[in-house]
Amino acid sequence: MTVENPPLQRTRETSRALPIALLRARETVMSPIRDMLHDLNLTEQKWRILRTLEECGRVEQSTIAKEACLLLPSLTRILRTMEADGQIARAADLTDKRRTLVEITETGRAILRDNIHVSNGIYQSIQSQMGQEKLDTLLDLLQELQQVRV
Amino acid sequence: MTVENPPLQRTRETSRALPIALLRARETVMSPIRDMLHDLNLTEQKWRILRTLEECGRVEQSTIAKEACLLLPSLTRILRTMEADGQIARAADLTDKRRTLVEITETGRAILRDNIHVSNGIYQSIQSQMGQEKLDTLLDLLQELQQVRV
DNA sequence: TATTGTTATACTCTATAACTATA
DNA sequence: TATAGTTATAGAGTATAACAATA
């Protein structure tokens, strides 16, 4: 009677490891955006918050945290400075006083409007090199991956 | 004679914006890995360094920085603690004394070996939900995106 | 002169727990 | 009791510049 060894597991090539592959791809795309954010004196996190708020309208903080991939304590601090800088506004939720509703201000909107050509330019540059079809497929697959139950 | 307005540019849905889509997808995959790293008392950065070193063998620090998406000053500090913990070893490059060559130790290798079933398990869970073909396509497209000139 | 890596510094985010107010 | 958000705190990474050693 023989006892089989457990299957020997090997590490995946880093280029085929999802966490690393996703990070490296993101670094490529973020590089020129970081230059823009540097000039705007905005962090990546603040940029994500502005984009989230523009899209979601007036929302509670837990929603922002989830959409922008931030922890609530971080968000509390970041929103405090963004409010001081006039980029967002907060108001109490009258139906549930535990909640705070946040929305983007005209100042915040203007920041996005004045710089959207940068992200659109990057997008177009990628599109011209990869092709529209591949880019759509990639975005579809990323959305699907995001929803996987791990 | 009329002067045309510049084309009005609109912000992309965040789910179709590459930096955010890549980040959200990565958060999904990283969530269980973070639990593992927490138990191992390792940061994400140290994990990437170990994976990079296992794959690249003995390499200089600039290479690690590039592959693991870290800045050199960060790497200097992180490698100092990893060396103290016996996970990596450093040796001077005899042919170019400015360079330091870094390699993974047996202790470092053991950490990867003892935990690779976690990342493989996540990979298989994703594979079973998305299918092998889509997952391969995603990894191909990520590799292609990483190499785009932005 | 350019490159590799280190040091120093200021800033920011992460992670966790404890807390307040409200439901 | 549970939830939304805040505060406090420790730890870690980011970004930049200045520096040393070597090529």
B29-42 residue pLDDT tens: 999 999 999 999 99
Total domains, chain B: 1
Virtual CA dihedral for B18, B19, B21, B24, nearest 10 degrees?
Answer: 170
Q: What is the pLDDT of residue A102?
A: 98
Residue A92 lies in a domain: yes
Sequential DSSP letters for B24-58: HHHHHHHHHHHHHHHHHT--HHHHHHHHHHHHH-S
Residue A138 lies in a domain: no
B4 Cβ under 8 Å from any chain A Cβ: no
Residue B147 lies in a domain: no
Nearest C-alpha neighbor of A24 from the set A13, A8, A40, A35 = A13
A69 Cβ under 8 Å from any chain B Cβ: yes
Element holding B143 (H helix, E strand): helix B132-146
Closest in B16, B67, B122 to A14, CB measured: B67
| % of chain B exceeding 70 in pLDDT | 95
Residue B38: nearest nucleotide (C-alpha to C1'): C15
Indicate which CATH number applies to the domain containing A105. 1.10.10.10
pLDDT(A65) > 90: yes
pLDDT(B5) > 90: no
Nearest C-alpha neighbor of A91 from the set A58, A62, A63 = A58
Nearest C-alpha neighbor of A45 from the set A23, A76, A89 = A76
Which residues does chain B have within 8 Å of residue A119's beta carbon, measured at their own beta carbons? 11-12, 17, 19
Residue B7 lies in a domain: no
Which residues does chain B have within 8 Å of residue A137's beta carbon, measured at their own beta carbons? 137, 141
Nearest C-alpha neighbor of A18 from the set B100, B66, B142 = B142
Question: Using the 8-state DSSP alphabet, how is residue A86 labeled?
Answer: T
Residue B61 CB closer than 7 angstroms to strand C? yes
Residue A140 lies in a domain: no
Instruction: Look up the domain containing A96 and give its range.
Output: 24-118
State residue B148 phi and psi, 5-degree precision: -65, 145
Q: How much is the average pLDDT of B70-94?
A: 95
Q: How confident is the model at residue A5 (pLDDT cuts 50, 70, 90)?
A: low
Residue B4 lies in a domain: no
Q: What is the pLDDT of residue B67?
A: 97
Cβ contact B56:B48 at 8 Å: no
For the CA of B69 and the C1' of C4, the distance in angstroms is 18
Residue B150 lies in a domain: no
Residue A71 lies in a domain: yes
pLDDT tens digits along A99-146? 999 999 999 999 999 999 999 999 999 999 999 999 999 999 999 999
Q: How far apart are CA A33 and CA A11, in angstroms?
A: 32
Token representation of residue A34: 């970081």
Q: Does the beta-carbon distance from B33 to A19 stay under 8 Å? A: yes
For residue B61, is it left (φ>0), alpha (ψ between -120 and 50) or beta? alpha
Kind of pairing, strands A88-92 and A100-104? antiparallel
For the CA of B100 and the C1' of C13, the distance in angstroms is 30
Contact positions of strand C to protein Cβ (< 7 A): 3-9, 12-17, 21-23
